[in-house]
Structure 1
Amino acid sequence: MKRNLSLRMSFLGIMAMVASVTASCNEDVVFDPKLPRCEVPEMPSYESLPSIEKLPDPFKFMDGSRVDSRRDWECRRAEIAALAQEFQYGYKPSTPSSATTGSVNGDTLTVKVNQNGASISFNCTITYPTTGRKPYPAVIGIGASNLNNAALLNMGVAIINFPNNRIAEQLNGSSRGKGLFYEVFGSDHSASATMAWAWGVSRVIDALEKMPRANIDARKLGVTGCSRNGKGALVVGAFDERIKLTIPQEPGAGGAASWRISDAQKEAGKNVQTLSQITGENVWFREDFSRFSNTSDKLPFDQHSVMALVAPRALLVIENTSIDWLSPQSSWTTAHAAHKVWQALGVPDNMGFSQVGDHWHCLLPESQLPELTAYVDKFLIGRGTGNTAIMKTDGGFATNEQEWIDWTVPTLK
């Protein structure tokens, strides 16, 4: 295996390894010089991308060789992270921790960032539990948390509301380049709204790490968001390894649903959101992602690969079978494809998928509360022994693995 691997390779920051990427545009990428690197090839052009009808193999390097160890997986993660930024999300800029400061006044956390000659600040509200121990683990809600917040607080978990619309607007297609992120990096920066939010959450974590008086344990952080904000929560968890638990709730297209499978569902007459529709609706993806509107088969990855960027950390995807627009069949099959990465790493119980209908959008039903509490208890609080081996749907869907998966799952040592 021809890989430039440090002897000290372990599950470290994805973006640290992406630092050696030679991208086709001159964007900053995150790099912590204390961490080892992987060689990431130059990004291909859109024109050179081949058609891949089935879900791309997450264990196949860009040079065609296969992942056969955990150290290999780290480098493959770096490749997927680079490809996802190059073609779908835009690049997450590098911001040193020293550029961020924070202060807390009651339940308000103020985050200040000074970079590129610009100075911005924004406030996050914190709801503290009345049980548990300080410093508290916390769930960061993109926009807000639509989980069962009372249950989280009763478990001793704080809830931090992140003002994502201030960081990057998402009113409609005219919102591109608007928000505090673009005041720092320019309105023409490649970062989509979701990647800008990921940058903003990383600054929140920087601030919390410096402020013990905030009574938040920055080593025990989760992230969530619902619908459009669920798409953002996935990006946050994928691109900052300080997030221990990622819970995208009903993210649908661009979250849990595969672009390829959703296109097939649309052709079969299902009323599902597709890539061609979503790129004209809002700014959740980079501007030139629309190139794939009628060619999703040219993407060198799909949402199963994006979810796998979280591995081996914890991921719980919460979906809804009653809303066709979310493409529940697509999400079910995509989740099974993503889960194979956790299986290969020997930690299958670190990734779960729960899909239950007969409730309003973004309203967590009682039937999904057990898996939420099991994941929070185990991966945020650190005391749980509950069942996190969860792959369930009430939709009666087949997994369609033969139709969409033509690759094998290695055992990574």
Structure 2
Amino acid sequence: MSNVAEHTSSTAAPALPGNSASKLLTVFAVSLGAVAMLRGILLAEDTMVTVALLALLGFGFALLQFRPTLEDFIVSAFQRYRRLALTLGIIATLAFPFVLNGSSYALHLMIIAQLYSVLALALNFQLGSANIPNFATGASYGIGAYTSALLALNFGMSFWLTLPIAAVVATIFGFLLGFPSMRTRESYLALVTIAFGIVVHQLLNNFSWTGGPNGLVGIPAPSLFGHSFIRPIEFLGMKLPSQANFYYLSAALVGLSIISAKRLHDSRVGLAWNALRGDEIAARCQGINVVWYKMLAFGVDAFLAAFAGTIYAFYVSYISPDNFTFLVSVTIMTMVIVGGMDNTLGVIVGAFLLTLLPEKLRIFDDYRLLFVGVVVILFLILRPQGLFPQRARNYGGDQ
């Protein structure tokens, strides 16, 4: 059996041309290019500069689309130097606030983009891995935010204590949503999740103890080892805006989500979700507990979404039902589809792209969403499988 697996691995992934030096250079070039592109978009004040950078990004993905060998070579280079790429990513994440010229607005966009990345990764377990359409991720996001905010305001609980409690509460609601959804499929399942999201929004909007349409105000900022998150960070004589505290907190959550995605994808749970995506009847015939794994997908989605909601609530210190509408769930689903379903990197890139585009194109006012829609359509035309398509599992050797 092991010989068969080794033979399958060797035939499925042929060696790509290129020596170690060229692959090493590729890892550095792509990593630095990605950081420079993100910094350029964040700090661009001229709309034409932003459009030019987006055009350059689109050209890069078009090149990958029409030159598959180039894409395979880049993937091979990052697989060859995984630890180096991971180290570069960690260093870039830690150092990135220091190259933003002290811009609070750029840090704010990074925080929101990272939180949406977590939401998109949460939904990816369902939509990407198991092909379960869920339009209630925004509702789980709101449940986490409101649970933590109410505990902090009414009972004086600290952020660090409300974080796991909010996740557990949202997970319970996720299972409650998953249970009736088991009797539906495809479009009917989507309708059930849409209804759940609308019900949650209406309850938040009408209950007096949730603040009604006025929401909750005065959510206290967290603190860690005596350092309040409303204070700036001082390091080696440099001072970062107070938003940097939440930047690093949200970055840690993204890291946790990536690790969870990797572990789940490589586990029997990930295999079971992929089997459901391929053919639910065949999965059931192979002894997979379809109901359990579907409900587990709902629970994992709600758990991570609640984490993101809690950080968001304590970051903005004010939340209202308008922050967790049906449009939020649609946006998250779009991020997963545009980035590439069941691809962790693609989902994160899709989340960043669809978070930054509306903010950086505010000059178009009423036509902003139209412009964003056109850009998304162009990306889908150039890369119909998503910016970073799903790749076949490799059962032999390193992945």
When normalised by structure 1's length, the TM-score is 0.24
When normalised by structure 2's length, the TM-score is 0.25
Greater strand share, structure number: 1
Greater helix share, structure number: 2
When Rg is computed on C-alpha atoms for both structures, the one with the higher figure is 2
